[in-house]
Amino acid sequence: MIRANAEELIRKSIARFVDREIIPRAQEIDNKKEFPIEILKQIAEMGVFGIRYPKEKGGAGGNTTLYCIICEELARGLMSVAAITAMQCLMGTNFLFHFGTDQMRQTYFYPAMRGEKFSCFCLTEPEAGSDLGAVSTSAKKTEDGYMVNGLKTWVTNGPIADFFTVLCQTNPAKKFRGLNFFFIPRDTPGVSVSQPFETLGTVTTKMSEVAFSNVHIPEDYRLGQEGQGLDNLMTILAEIRSMTAALAIGLQRAALADSIRYAQEREAFGRPIGKYQLIQAKVANMATQLEASRLMTYRATRMIDQGIPCMTEASMAKYFATEAACTAADECTRIFGAYGYSMEYNAQRYYRDSRFLLNGGGTHEILQTNIARWAGL
Ligand SMILES: Cc1cc2nc3c(=O)[nH]c(=O)nc-3n(C[C@H](O)[C@H](O)[C@H](O)COP(=O)(O)OP(=O)(O)OC[C@H]3O[C@@H](n4cnc5c(N)ncnc54)[C@H](O)[C@@H]3O)c2cc1C
């Protein structure tokens, strides 16, 4: 297990990588809209993809706090790179690691840790987003396994993934208790992937539909005990929400740093705009919300690391930090004046990429509903 005092060393090392390899090229990478494979290979070489997994099982022996620190630093550089990395470390590989056979781990998990294979997580369907009880992709029992039919959408990494973790319904009468995760390699007959979607932000993170048509898989491709899909999802939901909050912190830091730099350089009416109180108020609010986001997010990750239930804390952190990231990106475009509207500056990218954070791990309407219930309403 990596100790707390090593956390800052790892943060510094990732930060150096981000400053050297990502930030100077972020705009160019974003403009190209291509999957940033070279950067991801470098991230894999640093052992990042295995950060949450134990050393003795092929991982890097870190914890959720460290995972989130890395996600935060990468998001400070480019949200797309951070999003792909976050998926590869957690949702794309977690159930394969815990429930896959040795052979599945050899063929898919370890190569994924080395950045040789990519993964993704398929929950959402055209008619089932927030309401997972409406998932209709079916996995019907056959003599020697399951037959999968259905359509998943908004699959982050779908166009480039080598294998999919897919939420299916095995018994519609049982609704949530009929949900199960399945491992499905991309080259299984009957699997097809759509063209990547055109999206507002994170344009190098590819998203698509993934269709399953009479896809036959063996019994041991079911990841976990029959009927435990929702319970298994709950084991990582607080971590997913904390990770999304960490991505939001990274974006807030980038927007704040650019805003301060610009406010010091840009002059209006004979003074730097940073001398005006209305600009100072924006920066003060961004800095305060950033600090609050940090406190909430890393409180939740420390609780996860100590095995303390923290769905409320993680949900509040995701809700707060993501709203703060959207506000910070908005304020950044205002501080930049007309140049906030120009594709030459980062401000527009922060604004577009901030929207990426809103849906994953639960929309804010769903989170607010849950928080109000936990608060006693
Ligand atoms: C960039 C991006 C990446 C994504 N990546 C993935 C991925 O990798 N894998 C995957 O499976 N999915 C992914 N998704 C899908 C995401 O998980 C869903 O968008 C999310 O679950 C919401 O579902 P929906 O879009 O169908 O909205 P809906 O559930 O249809 O909701 C529409 C609106 O109604 C609100 N609403 C719904 N129910 C309630 C309620 N009970 N009370 C109040 N308001 C409500 C919602 O908050 C939202 O504002 C991604 C989405 C985006 C945008």
Atom 2 of ligand 1 has which residue's CA nearest to it?
Answer: 356
Domain ranges, ordered by start, for the chain: 4-113, 119-227, 230-375
pLDDT tens digits, 1-27? 556 688 999 999 999 999 999 999 999
Token pair 């995701």 is found at 318
Compute the distance between CA of residue 71 and CA of residue 83 in angstroms, rounded to an integer: 8
CATH number for the domain running over 4-113: 1.10.540.10
Compute the distance between CA of residue 295 and CA of residue 124 in angstroms, rounded to an integer: 31
- Ligand 1 atom with least separation from CA of 130: 29
Mutate to test the pocket of ligand 1, among 237, 353, 363 (most ligand atoms within 8 A of CB): 363
Compute the distance between CA of residue 307 and CA of residue 300 in angstroms, rounded to an integer: 11
Q: What is the mean pLDDT of residues 272-287?
A: 98
Tell me the C-alpha to C-alpha distance, in Å, between residue 32 and each of 26, 85, 146, 291, 320.
10, 19, 40, 33, 32
pLDDT of residue 1: 55
Mutate to test the pocket of ligand 1, among 120, 243, 359 (most ligand atoms within 8 A of CB): 359
pLDDT tens digits, 336-365? 999 999 999 999 999 999 999 999 999 999
DSSP string spanning 325-338? HHHHHHHHHHHTGG
Half-sphere exposure of 133 (CA within 13 A, CB side): 6
Q: What is the mean pLDDT of residues 107-128?
A: 97
Compute the distance between CA of residue 147 and CA of residue 129 in angstroms, rounded to an integer: 23
Q: Say yes or no: domain 230-375 is CATH 2.60.120.200.
A: no
- Ligand 1 atom with least separation from CA of 157: 8
Provide the 3-class DSSP secondary structure of residue 120. strand
pLDDT tens digits, 205-238? 999 999 999 999 999 999 999 999 999 999 999 9
Q: Which residues contact 232 (CB under 8 A, 6 or more apart)?
A: 95, 181, 223, 224
Compute the distance between CA of residue 348 and CA of residue 358 in angstroms, rounded to an integer: 17
- Ligand 1 binding site (Cβ under 6 Å of any ligand atom): 120-124, 129-130, 154-156, 207, 356, 359-360, 363, 365-366, 369
Token pair 């527009």 is found at 348
Distance 199 CA to ligand 1 centre (A): 15
pTM: 0.97
pLDDT of residue 6: 84
**Mean pLDDT of the residues in the chain:** 97
CATH number for the domain running over 119-227: 2.40.110.10
Q: What is the mean pLDDT of residues 118-137?
A: 97
